[in-house]
Amino acid sequence: MQGWKCERCGFTHIAEAIEKIPSRCPSCRSTRVKSIIIRPEGEDRYELSIREIYGILDRITELPVPEQEDARKTLRESGGVHVLCLDERKGRLSEVLTRNELEGYLSLIRTQNFGLAVIGHSVVAISPDSPIRPHVGLNRSKLDELEGLSEP
């Protein structure tokens, strides 16, 4: 099967037939929308294990900055875990997220069953098919914070 995916927020669309790829992601408006091949059902989409994901999140605030960026990318691409705020002790969500990012994540949480959690010191949004999604829910106080920020 084919479809497309936003490389920025992870919004994914599976095409029933051949379809034109939109120029902008409907969720976050990014132009980084790429066609993808959907793997057969049952095949794991993410390579990281639950233990590896928690291991990276436990260490991430201690890493040098360039390695933090690599770790964020690995978590996102191989674990379905998006780091919204690396270290919540150092700043609130309003200081680290742009308005587009904020609304993109809220949309993923509302419409695509993403989770929202604080793991270690990081605030993370978790894709519905991430290995850790069954273990985390929706952190109410962080969701309230996101929703409060998205109000005009």
Pairing of strands 2-6, 81-85: unpaired
The Cα–Cα gap between 135 and 59 comes to: 19
Structural contact between residues 73 and 83, judged by C-beta atoms closer than 8 angstroms:
no
Provide the minimum distance between the beta carbon of 3 and Zn ion in the complex, in angstroms, as a whole number: 14
Piece of 9-17, 46-54, 61-69, 111-119 that binds Zn ion (CB under 5 A): 9-17
Figure out which of the listed residues 11, 46, 105, 114 binds Zn ion, where binding follows CB under 5 A.
11
The phi-psi region of residue 12 (left if phi > 0; otherwise alpha if psi is between -120 and 50; otherwise beta) is beta
Provide the minimum distance between the beta carbon of 35 and Zn ion in the complex, in angstroms, as a whole number: 14
Provide the minimum distance between the beta carbon of 104 and Zn ion in the complex, in angstroms, as a whole number: 6
Contact residues: Zn ion, CB under 5 A: 6, 8-9, 11, 25, 27-28, 30
